[in-house]
Structure formats: structure tokens, C-alpha cells
Structure 1
Amino acid sequence: MTPDQLLTRPGAALPTLRGAVAGLPPYVPGRRSAGMDIAALASNESHYEPLPAAAAAVSAAAGTMNRYPDSAAVELRERLAGHLGVTAEEVAVGPGSVGVLQQIITGLCDAGDEVIFAWRSFEAYPILVELAGARPVRIPLDDAEGHDLEGMAAAVTDRTKVILLCTPNNPTGVPISHDRIETFLRAVRSDILVVIDEAYVEYAEAGSGPDSMALYRRYPNVCILRTFSKAYGLAGLRVGYAVAAPDIAEGLRRTAVPFSVSALAQKAAITSLDAGEEMEARVAAVRQERARMAEQLEAQGWKLQPSQGNFLWIRADESLRARLVDAFDAAGVMVRAYQGDGVRITVADPASNDRVLRLLEAHAASTIA
């Protein structure tokens, strides 16, 4: 039978996706700007141009793009190790922190294993868990929009393999204190990997969240997850990293897609580590704008939890969420909406932030009432 005959044969079997994939909701990225007067505040990107040194490093490395990158990312891992005070054997890299997280889930979870995380939190969590055939265990946020660590500890079973702690939490911006995480670590089994996801850690005020490196040195089952996408402004190059016990980090490197972090991304990340002062100056400006916006929105009557990310969170039921999104869309401001939960607004340049403030002030009286 020829392939053409097979294609036209009634009832012929065709390839099918795995059940876990067929039923998987797609990850929904922040909407993109489609016009010159659009304020793109949906993706938590840095609104600064790339660090000049990083841009120069990418330009210099562009002539080698016909060659494969170092799949082991040795130079980047060594530089990160020196930056963090660990060894290169404790560092794994991947295409953004979400890529490293996929390596973590793939490396630790078999079908039917459980991964516990707060909800609402980063939308990729349940997708990556279900893709691995594991079971996502969502624990609702507490009344202060933060992690219910007691509830998460109570949800542990003999099938729990990984627990994800997002601090500051995306999308609410609420951090988890050092003492609360340490108490939590004492309460859970040492054979469960506890991932402290710190994608936005550079934007947090000192002392607002955990000293994750101190926790890692004290608890071998801690894994730290970070990215160059946010404060360092390398979202388009995709490079993130994890710090974990050497055997875990080695497993993460084994589960990585070969050559997944480009040579350009590696060079930009290495150079960015040397531009820490300039990055910190940009972060300080975002913190200042975040505080300014929060103060004005609270004066307008909006109830906000203190955010430690580069974004603000407005809790809203579905009716309020829909009205806010319609208003933002009409004003040319793109925000991130979460059905039934609320709206996340990236802190950007002052002019864009002022557009947000004016819009919310105009709708405050009728919306909040």
C-alpha cells in the first residue's frame, strides 16, 4: 500500500498526541505592542535598552554565529560560580529560568509524582508539571496575596518531589521572608527539592525576601532559580540558571536540550555580570517608580499589596477585571489580565506609568465602589 493510499483510506489511524499534551493549556505570553503609541506593560520586560556592554558583546560575538555554542556553558558557569561564591559544579544554565525549570521537573519527576506551588503564581508551573506527566498541586494564596506555606507543607505526600516557592511572587509581587522559608524547610522532608524561584529578586528591597544563598548552604535540598531576562534586560536572548547540590545540578545539565543557550546569550550574560553597578542604577529607578505609582494608586483608593517585583498587582473579580482591561485597551495600554483573579501592570518609564495612573484615577470612583 502506497502512502497516498494510506492517506485516503477511510478510518486509517493517524498519529496522536500524548493525553497530557492534548489537554495542555498553552502558555499565554504578554501581548505585544502593535503601534507606536502603545504602552506595552504586559510582559514584565525591562523598559531600558540593553546594557551597552552587553550589546557590544553580542555584536562582537555575532561573527561566530555559524558555530555551535559551548553546550556546557563552562565560562558562564564559572563566572556565575565566582559571582555567587559556589563552584561551577553547582551551577546549571538553560534558556531562561523557565527552561531551567523544565530541566528540574524533567530531572526529578516521574509520571504521577507531585509538584506543589502557590496559586496564583507563574503560569508556566502547571504546564511544565503536566507535560512531564506529574501532578500539579495548587495551594491558594493567603489573604495577603502571598504563599500559604503552612498549607503547602500540609499538602506534602509520599509522591511529592518538588516544591516551588516564587519570591517575589509573580503576579502579586509579594515576597516570602527568610524566617518563613527556613521554618518551612524544617517542616518538609529533606528528599523534596525546594526551588526558590527568584526571577525578580534584583527588584526586591534588601531584607524583604530570603537570603537564598544562606538557605542553600544550610539546606542541601534547596535549589535557587534565577534569570537574566528581567533586571539584566536579556529577555530576548533567553538565559537563566540554577544553583543546586552538585549531583542535582549535574542532572539538570543532562536534561538540558543540547546547545539551548546560544553563544550570544552566554557572552551577554557574562558581560552583564560585570555591569552590576549600571544594572543596579536601573533597578533603583524602577523601585522609585514602583513606590510612586503605589502611593498614588493607594491615594486613589486602590488596595495594593506591597510589590517587590517590577510590577503592580490589582486583585479583581471577573467583572472588574474585564472592565479594567477594556479601559486599558481603549487607552492603548497593554496589561496582563488573569481571568477571575486580577490585573498585573509592569512598571515602565515615567510617561507610561503616568498613563496608567491617569486611567486608574478616572475609573477609581466607579470601579472601586
Structure 2
Amino acid sequence: MVAGETSGDLLAGLLLDGLRKRWPQVQAGGIGGPNMAERGFEAWWPSEALAVRGYVEVLRHYRGILRIRNQLKARLLLERPQMFIGIDAPDFNLDLEAALKAQGIKTVHFICPSIWAWRADRVQKLQRSVDHVLCIFPFEPALLESHGIAATYVGHPLASVIPLQPDRQAARLKLGLSPDDKVVALLPGSRQSEVQYLASRFFEAAALIRKAQPAIKFIVPAVPALKARLEQMALASGLGDGLQILPSQSHTALAACDVTLIASGTATLEAALYKRPMVIAYNMNWMSWHIMRRKQLQPWVGLPNILCRDFVVPELLQDAATPRALADAVLQWLQAAPEKIAAVQQRFTTLHTELRRDTATLATDAIQKILQA
């Protein structure tokens, strides 16, 4: 298995639960993070080694990533596992899967690449690379099957883990927050490149929000490798007090907050499943941004908006993601009428219900059929 970042590590951990339930003696190794390690996964490299986003950023790390992939491919071709499962990370996994499949190793890709949002050319690569795709959104299997790619809708595993009615008070108690506090969760991403381009903007926006509402509380979940850097950036922005940087705990932060300012990515779907109003932001190297914009197929970037097919929550991207604009968008949610908040929460509840399936069982059912084919 290969999971290349924090969200992939979480999804892989949930899948490993299903695999171990069906096959208690299963052995799994490859590239992964702490959630996978807790389930007995043998990480030959940490998932952080692949946590790079954007064309220019990938080029800077290209040699190191290519070296890892070549070493992993050589090991897998020698050991010949019964199956390889790539968890997202298509730029790394699809080429690896193609090489393994060509040598007779069964390959599964968990999470369909977003060919419906951008980079439709990946369909041809998927055809060459995988025996089966486990899809987390209900419209994906028909799209893939129209291109001759076998696929199964398994639901989104997070939709079963996150309760339909999150317990905000319990989350606040865990973080030492009172029921009456106004709380904003800042989630600038789990990759170093995201922190580089987004975190200072988020902290500057937080400082502006505090000027408007001095009693506001900020919470920032941080992966361990980035915690010290975020602490330094927060201090530089004058946010030493009234701000908690949490060791991970992104779900607790989302359950506890009133609003989240959040980097575009899987975390935005998690925020929607927690029924939280949000402001989605992203900023990256300008060249990467212009390349990606040319490949974009839909008007939305954030997953909640894509799935609802509407701008349910605001998106502030690249040059639009100024601290002032981010602060104003968050303040609009904090000052919004209760019925506006309720309407967004209802949209997200409907989405949650659509995505909620017994993912582990459906995924292992599909995997079992592939192994027996």
C-alpha cells in the first residue's frame, strides 16, 4: 500500500480495519503514516516523503520521489504481493501501478482521481494502471465504466466515522473551551508547501478577525512535523494568546469550532461532514496555479461545492486569498443569521447521508472478488 499524505494515511487506516477484519493474518507494507502504523502496517518510508503538491514543488523534490518509487517498485516486483493498493496520490501511484500490473500483480486504486474536475487525460493512464478502482463518490463508477475501467462505489469512509450529529460540547470540553466561546479553526494544510503559501495568510487573517471580535478563540490542528513551524508563524503574527496549536486533532477542532478557515483538499469534506460553515482558500506557486487553472473542468475547487454543485461556501483562491478577504469572509459567517447557518448545515447533512456506506465491507468485498478472479 502507498498513502502519500495525512488524508491518505487516514483513509488507508480505515481500509486496513476492513482488511484485518476479513483476513486477520494480512500483512501490509509500503509507504504510510501513523494511522496505518497503529494497525500493524510496516512503513518502509513515511507518507510525509510524498506530501508535495503543485507542479513546481514536485519538480523540486522529483529526484527523491523518483528514487523512492524505483526502490519500492523493485522490492514489490521481487516480493510479488498478492495485491497493491494505491491510496490516492495518483502522480506517484498510477505509474507504479502500471509497472506492477504489467508484471501480473493485481492493482487497486482507492479514490478515483478527480478526472471529473480536472486532468481528464488521466483516464487513459487509469486504464493501463489498475484492475479496479474503489470510488468514494456515487457518480464515479458509471463514469469510469464508460471508459472500460472496473469500479465500485464504496462510500466515503469518513462519512461513517464522523457522526451525523457531531458533539460540539464534548469537543470543546476536550480542548478546554467553554460552550459560549466563539471559535474559529484554522486548517492551512498538512503539507509543507501548503503551510509555506497559506499559513501566514491565515494567521494574518486571524489577527484581523481578532481586531473585529477580540474575544474570538482560534484553534490550529497541526501534523507533528509542522507544529513548531506553525508556532513560530503564529507568534510572528502576534497571535501568541487566544490561539491553541493542537497536536493533530483536526476532527476535534472541526467538531468544536463555529467556523473554519481551511485549505482546499480532503479536509474541506471533513468540515462539511462536521456541518461547519467554512471559507475555503488556496495559494500555491504561481506557475503551478496557471497550469492547474488551464486543466480545471468545473467552476468549483472545494469538495463540498463540487459535490453540492453550488457555491455553498466561499472559495478564495490564489490572489483572491488575501488576509483581508479571508478575514471578511470568516466574519460574515460569524455574523450570519441563524437560518443561513441552518441551511448550510442541512445541505451538508444531506451530503453526509449520500456518502455514508459500510465502506470497509464494500471495499473488501470488491478486493476479494479481484483476488479470486
- TM-score scaled by length of structure 1: 0.32
Larger radius of gyration: 1
Higher relative contact order (CA 8 A, sep 6+): 1
Greater fraction helix: 2
